Structure formats: structure tokens, C-alpha cells
């Protein structure tokens, strides 16, 4: 017991919390939160104690510390900066070196609560005790409740860890943009429903289901498929939070809106041969003709084609397409003989890192979420419509035929040429089915893939060219 008293006295004597030496004398120093630094005009509040004794400084500092904390609390706008006050006091309390420090910090907390409550607006007599209790403005009481919730770690903003989570994502900029839209939608819903926008407001799936049920009315122009994408992004964020014990469970797991079944005549489809002839014989720019032919004879998505560099076309007659969707590595695809002239023309005299399609450069803004192929996609849509290739359904944003229809056309023609399904899947980058091919196989040999690609032939354009 005596030893514990000596130890406590030693900690008190040697405690330098809120103290620093300046020219041999101790002075009090308290950091000013960023939120009020401009208003107070300082980053730290300081006052000399005019003593070189640490033990005396510890006895003199607390009235000044409380005064500084009062100045900081008064400078905050209660409606917007309660969190900054509470987090600062919570930090101080967690670092208290001894019981005396803790008691002084608790006094600072009580003082802050008094500031937030403001003046009484009346009194209330407790019917059980007969004692009078002060009554404060409802908004002041709400501020104190919020302050206490933050102080006790019971009010973590929805986006508190979102930037950290986003920094660890290895997804496309467009997917990151979906993450930001998802959290913004959730915050908007909380505001509209009068629900505190905190992680603790979602302890069970009940609140998550309520948000999900409200989504169609909140965003009436978006399809259930798009809205489900936002729910999935929230689920990934919560999954990340759950692993760090910031939330008890992922309340979004398994949640989704019902997606109406697409009628058979509203499913996006491959181009017909007649549509292919129109597209490949139309009055397109040279870069569009080259782009369409590569898509048709490689079965590749638009963005990897537009992003091709010279060195991606010089590996033993193979394209090296960047990974897409769930692909874990770049994908090799044989260059069809009908594309040889295009590749030779577009690589001649260029450096290895030069783009194959300089006509569609990457966005100038490095923070842009648009893919490099954005303008190429718009260019193709305008051209496709100009030659009369369209399959529009009222109420649908996309035509049933679009640039992806080249990929569908390639797969269709490869199947019609009796190429094995697993081989076609490997060539176009689809996951192959089953344990044997999907897990154990390293993939087909280059010559097998080359036979699959060369089995696809463009439709005869001679008649269309003769008619011009």
C-alpha cells in the first residue's frame, strides 16, 4: 500500500502532460483542434508558470488547462463541431497518466457539457423526489447527447474509416466512384429519416433492410441492378469494418433488391451478319474500322483494346490484354491473320509504350473515373446509329446491340465453328467451369487458342462494297 502511494506520488511529480520546458521554466501548452484554429488564431494555447519545479508545475497547471479547454469549447460551433470537442477530450482521457489527471479531465468534460447546455429555460419538479431540476433547450440536450455518444465511442460517422478503406481497394476508379455514391446515399437516407449517421445506427439487419426498401423511391431512375451494386459496395465496406471490430457484423451480407426477370426479347445480343456488314462497310473513320475489326476477331471488351500499347502486340503474334473483371493477370490472345495489316500499320515507327490508339487518349484529369475508352464508346454509338444498327427498347438506357455485341458475335461464331466451350472461354477470358479445367489446368496451348481465333471469319463484304 505504501509502495503504491509512493508510485502514485512519483507519477504525479514526473507527469508532463500539458507541460513543456521553455528556457528552463515550465509552461502549460494545450493543442487547439484544427476545426477552431482559425477562430482562435493559434495552433496551441500556452502560458508560463514561472517555475523550474515539475512538481510545482503539476500543481499549478490544472486551472489554466481548464481555462484553455473552456476557450476551445466556446470557440466550437456546437451544431457542427461537437465531435471535435468530444474526440479531443476522449483522447486526453485515454492518455491520463494517473487518477488525478483523470479526475481533472472529467472536470473538463463536465465543464464542456455545461457550455453545450447553455442557460436554463425553466425548471421541472421531480414528482418522486420533489426536487427541482433545470430544463434546457431541446437542441442543447441533443447536442449533449451527441457529445456523450462520441465521448464514449458510440457515435462513429458512417464515413469515419471510408477513406482508409478506399485507399486499400484495388479496383477500377469507376468502382471507387460507386463506393462514394453508396455511402452518400446512406448518409442522405439517415438525414431524411432523422437517424444519426453513425455506424452504431446499424446494429442489426433491420435498419439495412429499411434503407434498401427506400432505395427505389430515393433513386426512381435507377434500375434494381444498379441499386444492388451500391448495396454490394456497402457490404464490402462493412465486411472490412467487421474484420477490424469496428462493427459487430456485416448487416448488408446477403441483402439485395428483387431484379425483374428480363424478357427473352429484351436481352442484349450479338450482331447479326447483316448488321456486321453494315458496320464494317460503313463510312467510319480509320480508327473506328480498326477498332471494330480487332473487337470482332479477338472477342475482347472495348477498354483493353483502346488501352493496347505497341509492346502488347509484339509477343509472338499475341495480344496482351490488361486484366478485366475477375481476371488476375493479363490475358494472351492470338492476333488473327486478318488483323496483321492493322497491327503493323499501328506499331510501325513507334516506341514500345506508345498507344495503339492515340486517337482516344486517357482523360487529362488524373482523378477522372472515366475509362480511356469513354470517348471511343461514344464515337462508336454515334457511328452505329448512323448506319442504322440499333435495337432500342422503350425505358431501357442501352440498345440491345452495342460494342459488347462484337464480343458476343465472336463467341457465337467460334461455337458455330465447332470450337470447344472451354477453349472459347479461355480465349475471351471467361472463367472455365469445373475443378479440372477451372482449377487444375494451366490453360490451352497457344496453337489451340490460335485455331479457335482463326476459326472465326468476318462476313463477306464484297457485295456491300460493290454496291457503293
Q: Give the Å distances, CA to CA, from 239 to 105, 202, 234, 235, 254.
A: 36, 13, 8, 6, 12
pTM exceeds 0.95 for this model: no
Query: Above 90 in pLDDT, residue 263?
Result: no
Do 29 and 46 touch, CB atoms closer than 8 A? Answer: yes
Q: With the C-alpha atoms ordered 235, 238, 243, 247, is the resulting torsion angle positive or negative?
A: negative
Model confidence pLDDT, tens digit, residues 117-167: 777 788 888 788 778 888 888 888 878 887 887 777 777 889 889 999 999
Domain span(s) for CATH 1.10.443.10 in the chain: 266-465
Q: What is the pLDDT of residues 92-106, one digit of tens each?
A: 777 777 777 777 778
Residue where the block lists cell 473538463: 108
Question: Cell 523550474 appears where?
Answer: 52
H-state helical runs in 51-161: 54-75, 78-94, 99-117, 138-151
Asked whether the beta carbons of 57 and 26 are under 8 A apart, the reply is: yes
Domain 266-465, second-level architecture: Orthogonal Bundle (1.10)
DSSP 368: -
Q: How far apart are CA 382 and CA 376, in angstroms?
A: 10
Q: Which residues have a Cβ under 8 Å from the Cβ of 146 and sit 6 or more positions away?
A: 82, 83, 155, 196
pLDDT of residue 455: 95
Confidence bin at 441 (pLDDT 50/70/90): very low
Amino acid at each position: 500500500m505504501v509502495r503504491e502511494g509512493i508510485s502514485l506520488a512519483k507519477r504525479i511529480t514526473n507527469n508532463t502532460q500539458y507541460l513543456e520546458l521553455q528556457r528552463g521554466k515550465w509552461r502549460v501548452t494545450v493543442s487547439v483542434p484544427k476545426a477552431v484554429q482559425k477562430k482562435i488564431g493559434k495552433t496551441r494555447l500556452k502560458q508560463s508558470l514561472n517555475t523550474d519545479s515539475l512538481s510545482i508545475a503539476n500543481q499549478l497547471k490544472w486551472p489554466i488547462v481548464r481555462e484553455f479547454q473552456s476557450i476551445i469549447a466556446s470557440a466550437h460551433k456546437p451544431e457542427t463541431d461537437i465531435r471535435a470537442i468530444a474526440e479531443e477530450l476522449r483522447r486526453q482521457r485515454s492518455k491520463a497518466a494517473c487518477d488525478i489527471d483523470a479526475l481533472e479531465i472529467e472536470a473538463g468534460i463536465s465543464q464542456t457539457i455545461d457550455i453545450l447546455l447553455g442557460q436554463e429555460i425553466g425548471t421541472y419538479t421531480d414528482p418522486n423526489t420533489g426536487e427541482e431540476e433545470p430544463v434546457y433547450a431541446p437542441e442543447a440536450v441533443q447536442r449533449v447527447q451527441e457529445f456523450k455518444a462520441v465521448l464514449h465511442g458510440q457515435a462513429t460517422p458512417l464515413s469515419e474509416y471510408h477513406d482508409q478503406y478506399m485507399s486499400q481497394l484495388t479496383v477500377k476508379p469507376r468502382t471507387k466512384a460507386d463506393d462514394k455514391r453508396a455511402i452518400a446515399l446512406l448518409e442522405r437516407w439517415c438525414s431524411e429519416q432523422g437517424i444519426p449517421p453513425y455506424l452504431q445506427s446499424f446494429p442489426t439487419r433491420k435498419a439495412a433492410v429499411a434503407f434498401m426498401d427506400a432505395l427505389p423511391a430515393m433513386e426512381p431512375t435507377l434500375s434494381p441492378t444498379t441499386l444492388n451494386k451500391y448495396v454490394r459496395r456497402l457490404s464490402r465496406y462493412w465486411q472490412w469494418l467487421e474484420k477490424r471490430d469496428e462493427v459487430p457484423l456485416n448487416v448488408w451480407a446477403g441483402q439485395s433488391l428483387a431484379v425483374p426477370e428480363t424478357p427473352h426479347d429484351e436481352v442484349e445480343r450479338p450482331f447479326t451478319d447483316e448488321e456486321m456488314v453494315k458496320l464494317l462497310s460503313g463510312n467510319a473513320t480509320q480508327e473506328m474500322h480498326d477498332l471494330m475489326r480487332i473487337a470482332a476477331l479477338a472477342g475482347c471488351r472495348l477498354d483493353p483494346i483502346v488501352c493496347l500499347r505497341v509492346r502488347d502486340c509484339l509477343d509472338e503474334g499475341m495480344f496482351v490484354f490488361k486484366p478485366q473483371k475477375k481476371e488476375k493477370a493479363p490475358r494472351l490472345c492470338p492476333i488473327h491473320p486478318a488483323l496483321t495489316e492493322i497491327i503493323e500499320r499501328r506499331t510501325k515507327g513507334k516506341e514500345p509504350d506508345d498507344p495503339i490508339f492515340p486517337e482516344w487518349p486517357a482523360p487529362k484529369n488524373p482523378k477522372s473515373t472515366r475509362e480511356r475508352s469513354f470517348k471511343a464508346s461514344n464515337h462508336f454509338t454515334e457511328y452505329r446509329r448512323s448506319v442504322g444498327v440499333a435495337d432500342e427498347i422503350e425505358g431501357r438506357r442501352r440498345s440491345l446491340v452495342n460494342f459488347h455485341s462484337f464480343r458476343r458475335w465472336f463467341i457465337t461464331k467460334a461455337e458455330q465453328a465447332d470450337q470447344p466451350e472451354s477453349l472459347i472461354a479461355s480465349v475471351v477470358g471467361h472463367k472455365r467451369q469445373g475443378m479440372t479445367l477451372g482449377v487444375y489446368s494451366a490453360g490451352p496451348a497457344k496453337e489451340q487458342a490460335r485455331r479457335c481465333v482463326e476459326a472465326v471469319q468476318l462476313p463477306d463484304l464484297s457485295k456491300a462494297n460493290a454496291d457503293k
